[in-house]
Structure 1
Amino acid sequence: MRIAFYGSSLLSSYWNGAATYYRGMLRDLAARGHSIVFYEPDAFGRQQHRDIEPPPWAEVRVYDATEGALRAVMAEAARADVVVKASGVGVFDDELIAGVMAAARPEAIRIFWDVDAPATLAEIQPAPDHALRRALPSLDFVLTYGGGPPVVAAYEALGARRCIPIYNALDPETHHPVPPDPRFAADLSFLANRLPDREARVEAFFLDAAARLPERSFLLGGNGWDGKPMSPNVRRIGHVGTRDHNAFNTSSLAVLNVARDSMASVGYSPATRVFEAAGAGACLITDAWVGLDLFLRDGEEALVARDGAEVAEHLRALTPARARAIGEAARRRVLEGHTYARRGAEVDALLRREAAAIAAQGARA
């Protein structure tokens, strides 16, 4: 099928945590015979911070963030068998959901793909006239990369016909063990951009642990942390491109995952970093959230902490041998049950069943 996918960016992970997810999902769908055009705006400096060049498995159309360019790319939805509008494009989101769905052919499959469901729901629930909320009843699917039963129930209450979680996963060809790199050496490393609904939890889980262990080394990657007060044993390195994520994850004793406030409260929302770290065989220390056991087992495949004191306790007790054992167990778990090949198979089956159903109905006659 021809898929027109309107998202934030496939080419750059700069201020764009969905890049790994997009790449893993769409690469697998292309391998299953789908033809993909990814539309991304030239915005937020992402084209100046590309991690990858345009891949062979998708055509990437970068458009100017202007109304004229927007109209042109929205019109191209009429060529597709599947039209996808992702959340968080960052420019013209309301215009895109209305415009691409209006341009889609009657027999096309219409999808809203939410890569930050808690934030999206918080925006649209109090706003009956929101463009996305108005569009929900006409969509064939809402797909989400996390959120589980609470998100499904919330979307269906707002009028979505079907909401199905398609969780983050691992692309083992992209994220895998590599030799340690001295640039990323630390006892505990953490990679995340500075965001308002993450900062308090970063303070509680990462910075508090660093303050409790002044003799240990801590590494902080991601945008926006300059000027943030932190103890001298924390080293900040700024943006880390996806090509360096494997080395980042294999070069420290342990890697920390901290969910944003909204993700933690909803649960069932493993970040892409969880699977990247597990795929590299890293020992993951993660904050606690409902649904974690669907992906990794506490004490065997990850270490769960409820605050910075518990992070520090885990780190004090962790030996290199145990860290390796936990990382290897996590890698086995995700390779067995949480790869993009499995997620792609889910989406491919959904699309083919829906296309057959539409054909049987005579293109929604």
Structure 2
Amino acid sequence: MQLAFFGSSLVSAYWNGAATYYRGIIRALGKKGHETTFFEPDAYDRQKHRDMDDPEWARIVVYPATEDGVFKALEQARSADFIVKASGVGVFDELLESEVVKLKKPGVSVIYWDVDAPATLERLENNPADPLKSLVPRFDLILTYGGGYSVVSAFCALGAAECIPVYNALDPSTHFPENPDPRFAADLTFIGNRLPDREARVEEFFLVPASKLPERTFSLGGSGWDDKSMTPNIRYLGHVYTRDHNVLNSSCLAVLNINRESMAKFGFSPPTRVFEAAGAGACIITDTWPGIEDFLEPGTEVLLANGSEGVIAHLETLAPDTAKEIGRAARERILAHHTYHHRALQVESILGL
């Protein structure tokens, strides 16, 4: 299979939460003999913040973030068997959406692969005139990195020929346990960029517990939090490169997962951070959302919290040995059922390969 993939970036996770997902899926497909060309725009300083070289398992084409650059990239992609437009490329998304569907012909299928379905569906809900609405039925297939029934039904209501979730997963070759590092020692660690539909939930699930547990230590990673008011027991790490995620997840008592407002609304999709943390054998505390039990068993493989009081209760009672056992159980469950090898098999089945 020849796959042409238009996404935000494969080689840089800078302001690009989808990077881990792209890498996991495409690497796993590469191991099965499929060839991917990943087209990414030179935008948002991502090329200056690369955290990997061009990989052996994908060809990278970095095109200028101009209209002319887009059309030249599209011309290179037209000979692929499957042409993918991912959501959230960040520049010329509408142009790419309208032009990719024009490349559809016998022997060439076009796919819209949504890596943030809640954001896309809110975008369409808030703007009835959004051009993507009329384009959804023209794609051969809609794939999403999550969302469950609510997302599938929403895309089908827009006329999608078919919508299938391909959930996040673990790449055990890149996310695994490491020896703890004092740089990242903390009772609770959270990584996430500062976004409008995330901030209030970060305050509730992270900043409030930190203010009420002054004897505990907290670490906050991600871009954009520099001017946020924080208590002295919070260490702000700034952008954490993916090369440091394993040791960070291995160095704290627990890792916190917080879904954004839009994801909490639509639900049913663990973000990549959950699988990264589970791969490192970390004890995960997460906000509660429908469908979590399909990935991890509450109480034994993951700890659930409905708000700040739930996070506080876990931190007040969580012993290091218990945290290690929960992390070990989570890693075993994910390795058995939720790796990108499993997802690549699913993609092959969906595409009839």
Q: How would you bin the TM-score normalised by the shorter chain?
A: over 0.9
Cα displacement (A) at 1:45: 0.8
Q: How big is the shift at 1:256?
A: 0.3
Partner of 1:67: 67
Partner of 2:130: 130
SS at match of 1:79: coil
SS in structure 1 opposite 2:352?
Answer: helix
Q: Report the Cα distance in structure 2 between the residues aligned to 1:31 and 1:98, rounded to whole angstroms.
A: 31
Letter in 1 for 2:87: S
Distance in 1 (CA, whole Å) between partners of 2:184 and 2:105 is: 49
**Unaligned stretches of 5+ in structure 1?**
354-365
Aligned residue type for 1:57:
W
Residue of structure 2 in register with 1:163 after alignment: 163
1 CA distance for matches of 2:208 and 2:327? Answer: 24
Shift of 1:351: 1.4
TM-score under structure 1 normalisation?
A: 0.95
- 1:21 aligned onto 2:1: no
Alpha-carbon shift at residue 128 of structure 1 (Å): 4.5
Question: Aligned equivalents of 2:12 and 2:176: distance in 1?
Answer: 20
How far did 1:105 drift? 3.5
Percent of residue pairs identical: 57
Query: Does the CA-based 8 Å contact 2:176-2:280 persist in structure 1?
Result: yes
Which consecutive unaligned segments of at least 5 residues does structure 2 have?
none
Whether the aligned pair in 1 keeps the contact of 2:24 and 2:171 (CA below 8 Å) is yes
With 120-129 and 227-236 compared, the bigger mean Cα shift is at 120-129
Query: Secondary structure of the equivalent of 1:344?
Result: helix
Report the AA paired with residue 189 of structure 2.
S
RMSD: 1.0
Aligned pairs, number: 353
Q: Which moved more, 1:254-263 or 1:70-79?
A: 70-79
1:175 maps to 175
Matches within 5 A, 1:306-321: 306-321=306-321
TM-score by length of 2: 0.98
Asked if 2 retains the 8 angstrom alpha-carbon contact of 1:77 and 1:104, the reply is no
Q: Distance in 2 between matches of 1:235 and 1:266?
A: 31
Q: Does 1:89 align with 2:86?
A: no
Q: Take 1:121 and 1:200, find their aligned partners in 2: how far apart are those partners?
A: 21
User: Residue type of the partner of 2:196?
Assistant: P
Q: What do residues 280-301 of structure 1 show as CA deviations (whole Å, max 9, x unaligned)?
A: 0000000001111111111100
CA apart distance, 1:140: 1.4
Contact 2:144–2:165 under 8 Å retained in 1: yes
Kept in 2, the 8 Å contact 1:266–1:290? The answer is no
Q: Which amino acid aligns with 1:56?
A: E
The aligned counterpart of 1:116 is: 116
> In the alignment, what sits opposite 1:297?
297
* TM-superposition CA deviations, 1:109-166 (whole Å, max 9, x none): 1110001001101112354542322211121111001100000000000010100000
Large movers: runs of 4+ above 4 Å: none
Decide whether the 8 Å contact of 2:100 with 2:110 is kept in 1: no
CA shift, 1:48, in A, is 0.5
SS at match of 1:324: helix
